[in-house]
Structure 1
Amino acid sequence: MEVGMLPISASKRGKLLAAGYTTLDAIARSSPTHLARDIEVSEDEASEILNFATKTSALNRSNGSNINLVEVGGQTAWDMLNEEKFSSCITTSCVDLDNILGGGINCKEVTEIGGVPGIGKTQIGIQLAVNVQIPLEYGGLGGKAIYIDTEGSFMVERVLQIAEACIEDMSEYSHHFHKDVQACGVKMHPNNILENIYYFRVCSYTEQIALVNYLDKFISEHRDVKIVIIDSVTFHFRQDFEDMALRTRLLSEMALKLMKLGRKFCLAVVLLNQVTTKHIEGSFQLTLALGDSWSHSCTNRIILYWNGSERHAFIDKSPSLKSASAPYSVTSRGIRNSTSGSKRIKMM
């Protein structure tokens, strides 16, 4: 691991990994102020780490070594295990859902969330765009979000509503954290949460592909971004696409780029998907759109469905999580734990 080459303490290396600094170049591109804030050290210590990273990176280049070993597979299993210990999650605001997800939506992974209309896909996307901003002092990431809207379903009024509820929740549970946390909560305002969501509206599959290609540059300039949400990844690829081989190739290339973004910048990628019908054993059944080949493009696949009048989320595929389901509710305050006897409410 490149971070392991730095002559610094193990605790500082752990903080670097937890903050997403997995390569020397990633550290060298940061500023002392940003690095100090991200790993909670003084600016003098951050400057010293930056100097080490810059010199070591330059030495590696002069020796012809590959500084992208992590990305091309030159990483040991021990390094991978240590990284997993420091992996970050984004809470869904539903305890039951977080539990089956191992704490929430995991960074460095591509998570697909799909289901029928009205089940709450966009609501979950908006909730995650808000929750990624929960400060470090409250156990969050203190990051920003990119929201790519392909359907025009993003509602800024709803974002404001969920942001206000998030701040109220942090104030309510502040006693679980250290004494000074209340001062941080007072400074937060719903408008700040809205300012930290970068919204992109795309109207064709070509615009969508172009934007995904641009994300590497954009995130390099906005290092606080910790989640990318596409709502939905499906929409433009289901319209007037006669060349299915071309569609499959474009989708595979896009999925690969999104996976690399998640690993490179230690952020979560969440792809919201629609459903379609599939003929299985003599009958038509609902399944997530884009076909079987697409199902292998994501790290985790979560299917949302109705169980009577209650919403449920089911982990259909994951390399690290066991198949399980959990109930959840869509309330005026956002995604929350399901309550017994809850009625089905049609979401706009």
Structure 2
Amino acid sequence: MEVCNLPLSPTQRAKLVSAGYTTISSLSSISPLDLARDLSVTQNEAAQILKIALQSTRFDPSINNNNNVGIVTGGQTAWDMLREEQFVTRITTSCEDLDNILGGGINCQEVTEIGGVPGIGKTQLGIQLAVNVQIALECGGLGGKAIYIDTEGSFMVERVFQIAEACIEDLLESRVFQQKDYQACRESMQPQTFLTNIFYFRVCSYTEQIALINYLEKFITENRDVKIVIIDSVTFHFRQDFDDLALRTRVLSGMALKLMKLAKSFSLAVVLLNQVTTKFTEGSFQLTLALGDSWSHACTNRVILYWNGSERFAYLDKSPSLRSASAPYSVTSKGIRVASSHCKKIRMM
């Protein structure tokens, strides 16, 4: 049960969400003193909130049902899990080399973090995935829709249109059509359709971001065709507005768990674009992905984009089933493509 459903005042619910307490279970082991400190309320008010949460669990069938049977679900054998993995779908990046190191593309049912320096092409890759997830089933795609969560204001609808046009051209060129079939496909695949299938959310604070993540389950339930959720970037508001690092870690952990659950429950891909920061290691400053070491455990896969001379490369830094490897790629007028010697350098790492 979500805390937004508790019979509390709007202010109290907002404070709970902002502090990272999004579910009743997250309140089960907290003391009134600690909760009062986290919410900046009196200890009596904190005790009252915990009392209401406890009472709600007694009447929530999903939490209290026949000796808590409802809590434990989804038991399966390792053999069943292996068979399921063989049928997991992937979303192409439009770069064959990049797809190869990813095992065929961005994996559904998993959370993938993609980070790198400014100008390396993170947003371009995010837009490319939002378009490619819509490639029809008969063309080897998922025929799905995308959710794009923009925290920085970097989403460019004109660029989406341009990449969608290029995607359509590639699909038509890669298939052998009879003249009649070609014309029919040409008429059915329009850039406007691709744009219609991208649900765009602009968030301007970390509280909005948390609230939206909590809302996604309901939204996706009503829009089952959604096959990818992209957050660009997951970092921005949490670097700007947080001074309490322990609180930030707790909030981010809760958000990561929610995204993992979405990926598994709805068999979709979650892609988190991340920024870089500097870290003092072995006597020198080095670039590393933002949000610290604890955040690195929140994602199933981690891909780092970097410059090597004048060429862009993607490095698979973390994966449960794939070896670490690098692959070159280009950002072109058509979107993400196989690396070319004519790639223009934007930023050096």
- Structure 1 stretches lacking a partner, 5+ long: 1-60
Change (3 A) 1:293 1:176: farther
1:146-157 matches, within 5 Å, as: 146-157=147-158
TM-score, normalising length: structure 1: 0.78
Change (3 A) 1:321 1:225: same
2:310 aligned partner: 309
**Deviation at 1:310?**
0.1
1:69-148 matches, within 5 Å, as: 69-70=73-74, 74-148=75-149
CA distance in 2, matches of 1:176, 1:340: 32
Pair 1:223 & 2:224 matched:
yes
Contact 1:170–1:185 under 8 Å retained in 2: no
TM-score, normalising length: structure 2: 0.77
Structure 2 counterpart of 1:305, which letter? Y
Change (3 A) 1:65 1:180: farther
CA distance in 2, matches of 1:239, 1:324: 32
2:190 aligned partner: 189
Structure 2 counterpart of 1:83, which letter? E
CA distance in 1, matches of 2:177, 2:309: 36
1:29 aligned partner: none
Question: Residues 85-120 of structure 1: CA distance to partner in whole angstroms, max 9, x if unpaired?
Answer: 110000000000000000000000000000000000
CA distance in 2, matches of 1:324, 1:176: 37
What's the secondary structure of 1:233's corresponding residue?
coil
Contact 1:115–1:304 under 8 Å retained in 2: yes
1:255-270 matches, within 5 Å, as: 255-270=256-271
CA distance in 1, matches of 2:108, 2:293: 24
Question: Residues 135-175 of structure 1: CA distance to partner in whole angstroms, max 9, x if unpaired?
Answer: 00100000000000000000000000000000011100112
Structure 2 counterpart of 1:175, which letter? V
Coordinate RMSD, CA, aligned = 2.2
Question: Residues 17-61 of structure 1: CA distance to partner in whole angstroms, max 9, x if unpaired?
Answer: xxxxxxxxxxxxxxxxxxxxxxxxxxxxxxxxxxxxxxxxxxxx9
**Deviation at 1:66?**
5.5
Structure 2 counterpart of 1:141, which letter? L
Structure 2 counterpart of 1:257, which letter? K
1:286 aligned partner: 287
Structure 2 counterpart of 1:271, which letter? L
- Structure 2 stretches lacking a partner, 5+ long: 1-64
Aligned residues: 282
1:318 aligned partner: 319
What's the secondary structure of 1:93's corresponding residue?
coil
CA distance in 1, matches of 2:86, 2:177: 23
CA distance in 2, matches of 1:182, 1:138: 16
Contact 2:120–2:346 under 8 Å retained in 1: no
Structure 2 counterpart of 1:187, which letter? S
1:202 aligned partner: 203
Pair 1:331 & 2:297 matched:
no
Contact 2:93–2:129 under 8 Å retained in 1: yes
CA distance in 2, matches of 1:136, 1:110: 22
Structure 2 counterpart of 1:240, which letter? D
**Deviation at 1:340?**
2.6
What's the secondary structure of 1:172's corresponding residue?
helix
Structure 2 counterpart of 1:208, which letter? Q
Aligned structure 1 segments of 4 or more residues deviating by more than 6 angstroms: none
